[in-house]
Structure 1
């Protein structure tokens, strides 16, 4: 008997697809990156978040995420650190000079490594993800199949890969909108402020949920 139940696994795939599409910090950040800095930036942001999801999964499989359940103080500390990081990103967006997107091959912009790091850090500093994996993944394990750690890791890795695929679809979906906006100077004069407002709204939303 395979460790994972095929029927449960198909249900899991459908659930992950819906969860990845549901509005949240991760996919809103990917869409914002795509609109402000282009398709490649959006894809790299999605990759950074997928890497962070894989690390969360590894921690959950090894039992490290149980620390957050045992220590509410640590959970809140990491959560508020994540909110502070979002506020920092919002401040940086508000402070950025207004400019239209550069279309030349030598156009300057944030490096791919920086985009990946920022996205990964944003997801890593969300302890709700660690708690979510502890609560969500076991629902789709097959006790009769044994190898529980393997099942949890396989499900978690599937979650990260499928989320990355959904992020890529979102990037491709919003790319035509960015192409339409290129050349409309009025939008790009406000683009950095709009990005900052979105990031600030996400931070305030998470702050309200923390209470």
Structure 2
């Protein structure tokens, strides 16, 4: 089992990531508003399967492989930090987009919704960064099985994501309408998310360097 401090710290980062703008949030809100909460939940089930895919890949050796090649690990770490900074800029730049701005989507059957949710998550670089770069920093080989720790932290992240995204799906219309009619709230949300993304990028850069020293 991971140490309690690592569980809490990783949970806080997972919560920060799920609350930041990204393809998953945009897609789930747009789908829920365009086709209803049931369609949003089927899409969310696909997103959850994408999380399981990344978690199992990381737990069974992809992360270990990257960690044995320092240059590959550093490249992934800095690329992840740059990507988070890019998302932060997209959130706060003049005329920037909010994750609560809805895209028009066609009506699709549940099977297609599930598949699109899965693909949206699997192709989301933010999730790859979470599992391939952040997760290993909260695993201590001296406290027990690396595989068991990876699975515990992975399922913790999935549980947090499902809880937050279920609330987003069920309240998508209300949240989007509330923010769209209140420019101050919308601007505050954008700057708050931009700040969280920047903090995550800084932590990813310097925490990785500290772990290697």
| TM-score, L = length of structure 1 | 0.59
Deviation digits for residues 79-107 of structure 1 (CA, Å, limit 9, x no counterpart) = xxxxxxxxxxxxxx8795xxxxxxxxxxx
Given candidates 46, 49, 53, the residue that maps to 1:48 is 46
After TM superposition, the runs of 4+ consecutive aligned structure 1 residues lying more than 3 A away are 64-67, 93-96, 175-180
Alignment partner of 2:59 out of 61, 68, 73 = 61
* Larger gyration radius, structure 1 or structure 2: 1
1:139-162 Cα shifts (integer Å, max 9, x gaps): 222333120121112211221221
Distance 1:28 1:128 in 2: 14
SS of 1:64's equivalent in the other structure is helix
Specify the alignment match of 1:133 in structure 2.
Answer: 131
TM-score (normalizing by structure 2)? 0.59
Contact 1:39/1:175 (<8 A) preserved: no
The structure-2 alpha-carbon separation of the partners of 1:5 and 1:40, relative to structure 1 and needing over 3 Å to count, comes to same
Partners of 1:43 and 1:168 within 8 A in 2? yes
Per-residue deviation, 1:18:
1.5
Q: How does 1:1-211 map to 2 (within 5 A)?
A: 3-64=1-62, 66=65, 69=72, 109-126=107-124, 129-176=127-174
RMSD between aligned residues: 2.8
